[in-house]
Amino acid sequence: MVQRFLLPLLVLTSLLAYFWPADWIDPFSKEISSYYLDWLIIITMFSIGWMLPRNELEQVARRWKTVLGGVLVQYATMPLLALGCGLLFQLKGDYLLGMVLVGCVPGAMASNVLTINARGNASYSVSLTTVAALLGGRMDLLEQAAGDGVYARSSVKLCYTVVAPVITGFLAGRIFSNWEQRARQLCPLVANLAILAIIAVVVGRTRTQLEDLPLQILAALLLLNLAGYTAGHLAARTMKLPDSMGRALTLEIGMQNAGVGTLLALTLFTDTSAIPPAFYTFGCMFTGTVLAGYWRKREQKDEQ
């Protein structure tokens, strides 16, 4: 239920954070972001690792060419597209940094759920997300936006907040296999609640900046999202993938793990730099839901 209504819940919790009395939420949000956000994302990625199917590594090995090709397309296009969109709309400073960060993080787990809704190849989608999460992300382009030392700090951050928890969660799921059914009920809830908390903290901490938010940021994020879907579609056509796998690749590339990007921005950079990743969460969830619904209806129409 939380996954199904994630977008309305994002809107609701963000509105609460925005209109909540500042003297109540500001100390709370600062305390969370200074320590607990790290653990929040670690628990989230641990839950994602636990939810990965038992035979996922076998699936990745079996179709390693298409998986590797899809991940390479994502890491080759999204960071450059993010930088290009930011420069096209003349974003500067922390806004440009947050924009580039959106393109550099791994793919989102939400793309797996939307792939199922779109009647795409869920196993291929999970394989793409798994490999992308294990690689951690492409942070070298952040050097151009934030200067020296960012690549090392962000890579280390991704290692212990994303890569290590995913591997640990996957191994824990194999060791404690008798807990699998309960974990599959609990882990999605934990992951989605963590996303809601992270975005709410960003809204609460940046409420003053949001009042004067330049509209070109929203336009740049929308263009990046649509360009990511286009890159995924063209890559699927180039690799001659079946329609079901093409849908999975399109959603995977267009949807980025903006929750991780938001965390990196809050803990490594500034509150303002967390605004683009937070807004991208809304955008990609909305467009991804619409796109998956269109594919699903078209599939049902074809069957009829």
Q: What is the pLDDT of residues 114-156, one digit of tens each?
A: 787 777 887 788 778 777 766 755 555 555 555 555 555 656 6
The amino acid occupying position 4 is R
pLDDT exceeds cutoff 60 at 24: no
Instruction: Please answer whether residues 281 and 269 qualify as being in contact, where contact means their C-beta atoms are separated by less than 8 angstroms.
Output: no
User: Going by CATH, does the domain composed of 26-294 fall within 3.40.50.720?
Assistant: no
Instruction: Please answer whether residues 171 and 190 qualify as being in contact, where contact means their C-beta atoms are separated by less than 8 angstroms.
Output: no
Domain ranges of the chain: 26-294
Residue 95's pLDDT band (boundaries 50, 70, 90)? confident
User: What value, to the nearest 5°, has the Cα angle with vertex 224 and ends 18 and 41?
Assistant: 50
pLDDT exceeds cutoff 80 at 295: yes
List, as one string, the DSSP characters of the chain.
-TTTTHHHHHHHHHHHHHHS-HHHHHHHHHHIIIIIHHHHHHHHHHHHHHHS-TTHHHHHHHTHHHHHHHHHHHHHHHHHHHHHHHHHTT--HHHHHHHHHHHHS-B-THHHHHHHHTT--HHHHHHHHHHHHHH----TTHHHHH-TTHHHHHHHHHIIIIIHHHHHHHHHHHHTGGGHHHHHHHHHHHHHHHHHHHHHHHHHHTHHHHHT--HHHHHHHHHHHHHHHHHHHHHHHHTT--HHHHHHHHHHHH-B-HHHHHHHHHHHS-TGGGHHHHHHHHHHHHHHHHHHHHHHHHHHHHH-
Residues 6+ apart with CB under 8 A from 219: 89
Q: Report the pLDDT value the prediction gives residue 299, as an integer from 0 to 100.
A: 78
Q: State how far the alpha carbon of 248 is from the alpha carbons of 163, 225, 267, in Å.
A: 22, 15, 31
Instruction: Please answer whether residues 73 and 246 qualify as being in contact, where contact means their C-beta atoms are separated by less than 8 angstroms.
Output: no
Q: Report the pLDDT value the prediction gives residue 231, as an integer from 0 to 100.
A: 93
pTM over 0.85: no
CB burial of residue 116 (10 Å; 0-12, 13-18, 19+): middle
The amino acid occupying position 270 is T
Q: What is the pLDDT of residues 56-84, one digit of tens each?
A: 566 667 777 888 898 899 888 998 899 89
CA distance linking residue 194 with residue 150, whole number of Å: 25
